[in-house]
Amino acid sequence: MTPVNWKPDTCECEIEVIDWDTAQGRTIKTCSAHQGLIDDAHMAVVYLGENKVKNLALEQIKKAVPKLDDPSIEIPYVFEDTVGKARSISFELPTLTSKEKADAETAIATISSDATIL
Ligand SMILES: [Zn+2]
């Protein structure tokens, strides 16, 4: 494939992706949360890790809470940076009922133990 420049929607990094399937890439720019990561190790954390967790969790939230399964609804999320720890992700859904929130939390717990619903 032709390499593409990829800017994830989960941080400010930029990576030249050589192959998505094998997560091969070359670092172009590193954000403050990902200092020290280069090339394939950078892809592993940003693409296989954070970006996939975010996408899978959004999918699971929409399955668990059908009213959110609408392309016009955007679910805001934020990553928290803790030095020396994997970044944790939170989805901001203040309009959920407590049952919906519990269903969404159960659904994302299968994806990542570091993901929460706010
Ligand atoms: Zn980054």
Q: Report pTM.
A: 0.89
Q: Angle, nearest 10°, between helix axes 98-109 and 52-64?
A: 140
pLDDT tops 90 at residue 4: yes
Strand, helix or coil for residue 78:
strand
Distance CA 57, CA 107 (A): 8
β-pair type (115-117, 4-6) = unpaired
Report the chain's mean pLDDT, rounded to a whole number: 93
Distance 74 CA to ligand 1 centre (A): 22
β-pair type (24-29, 77-80) = unpaired
Share of residues in the chain with pLDDT > 90 (%): 83
CB-hemisphere CA count at 13 Å for 49?
16
DSSP state of 18: E
Distance 23 CA to ligand 1 centre (A): 15
Place of tokens 């070359």: 26
Quote the pLDDT of residue 114. 82
Sorting pLDDT into bands at 50, 70 and 90, what band is 84?
Answer: low
Distance 42 CA to ligand 1 centre (A): 8
Distance 49 CA to ligand 1 centre (A): 11
Quote the pLDDT of residue 83. 65
Distance 12 CA to ligand 1 centre (A): 5
Residue extents of the structural domains in the chain: 4-117
pLDDT tops 90 at residue 25: yes
- Ion ligand 1: residue ranges with CB closer than 5 A: 11, 13, 31, 34
Mean pLDDT of 29-49: 95
Sorting pLDDT into bands at 50, 70 and 90, what band is 113?
Answer: confident
Distance 91 CA to ligand 1 centre (A): 18
Share of residues in the chain with pLDDT > 70 (%): 98
Nearest to 51 by CA among 104, 112, 113: 112
